[in-house]
Amino acid sequence: MNVVSDNAQRPTSSSGSGGKSAEKIALENNKLHKRLCRLVGQAIGDFNMIEDGDKVMVCLSGGKDSYALLDLLLTLRERAPIHFDIVAVNLDQKQPGFPEDVLPAYLEQLGVPYHIENQDTYSIVKRLIPEGKTTCSLCSRLRRGILYRVADELGCNKIALGHHRDDILETFFLNMFFGGKLKGMPAKLVSDDGKHMVIRPMAYVKEEDTERYAEVKNFPIIPCNLCGSQENLQRKHIKAMLREWEKKHPGRVENIYSSLSTVVPSHLMDRQLFNFTDLQMDGVANPLGDIAFDEEPCATPSSVPGVIALQRDL
């Protein structure tokens, strides 16, 4: 059963698309769909996120990222050489104005097993947190506990979240700027209660791609500001900073992201990660060793103006 409607391959109207022809738009949509499938498949493979026999609980908030996650996992399951089950779960936190029919209608139409968990965390948070104080930390702690319990009740051994590359980068900078830690958001990690495997199959996907994909697939997005709380302001600033960098220095954000998977512990200062105390010389040349006063090469030397001038003078 192909449970995924294939709007991604369907031409859409050319209005608002810069006068592109329907064929061109269809081609771009198709490329986007393929790219997303490839990136999600790659992340799943790289981190061994899903194995044969798994039951994956896909957390569906009604936002673009979680819709894209469910959609792409369903597509990949059709093609996967292994068998795994998917259950979509939404936690209805009883925020005022939450349109409770939207997700069940969408999931019925897809034919995906699903569960809506009704828990009025909104009232609890409102009761316990004084007016004007930020409610997100209690709200998300309550949500986390409920989702772990639901995963147990549904017999799910994996919990899939829709966080993407930009969420991971923003978290990385938030932790660095405000927490003094080099720490991002893991693609796969055991939950803090030690009982669940949390996976983020969208870890390699750019946010702008999920935005476009949501438009192409026409997901019935539920607004995320129903609780009335402000989105984390610092995260907003970091998002803006990254977008600005990407605009002014194309490739910089991509490089920062790849640095997260190319860590050189001996060139950092964490004594837990690298044993500086017992370090010994072994007389063997090592390109990863210290290069004394030399600058780390960070650009192709011939492209650096100073080097070009120096080469001319020598």
| Residues near ligand SF4 (CB under 6 A) | 135-136, 139-140, 227, 229
Instruction: Read off the amino acid at residue 267.
Output: H
Q: DSSP string of 91-146?
A: EE---TT--TTHHHHHHHHHT--EEEEE--HHHHHHHHSPTTS--HHHHHHHHHHH
157 versus 191: smaller Cβ distance to ligand SF4: 191
In the bound state with ligand SF4, the residue whose beta carbon lies nearer, of 230 and 266, is 230
Closest CB to ligand SF4 among residues 54, 170: 170
Are 88 and 70 contacting, i.e. CB atoms less than 8 angstroms apart? yes
Least CB distance from residue 132 to ligand SF4, whole Å?
Answer: 13
- Nearest Cα neighbor of 165 from 249, 258, 89 is 258
Is residue 65 within 8 A of residue 164, CB to CB? The reply is yes
> CB of 112 within 8 A of CB of 3?
yes
Please report the sign of the dihedral spanned by the C-alpha atoms of residue 170, residue 171, residue 177, residue 178. Answer: positive
In angstroms, give the least distance from the CB of 148 to ligand SF4: 16
Per-residue H/E/C for 235-251: HHHHHHHHHHHHHHCCC
Dist. CA 220–CA 63, nearest whole Å = 9
Question: What backbone torsions phi and psi does residue 83 show, to the nearest 5 degrees?
Answer: -105, 130
CB of 267 to ligand SF4, least distance (A): 37
Structural contact between residues 197 and 188, judged by C-beta atoms closer than 8 angstroms = yes
Taking the complex as a whole, how short is the minimal distance between the CB of residue 150 and ligand SF4, in angstroms? 17
Query: Counting beta carbons within 10 angstroms of the beta carbon of residue 213, is it exposed (0 to 12), middle (13 to 18) or buried (19 or more)?
Result: buried
Q: Which is nearer to ligand SF4, 103 or 112 (CB)?
A: 103
Q: How far is the CB of 279 from ligand SF4 (least distance, A)?
A: 45
Nearer to ligand SF4, 66 or 135 (CB): 135
* Of residues 113 and 145, the one with the C-beta less far from ligand SF4: 145
Token duo for residue 257 = 């992201």
Closest CB 129 distance from ligand SF4, rounded Å: 9
Q: Which is nearer to ligand SF4, 132 or 250 (CB)?
A: 132
CB of 135 to ligand SF4, least distance (A): 4
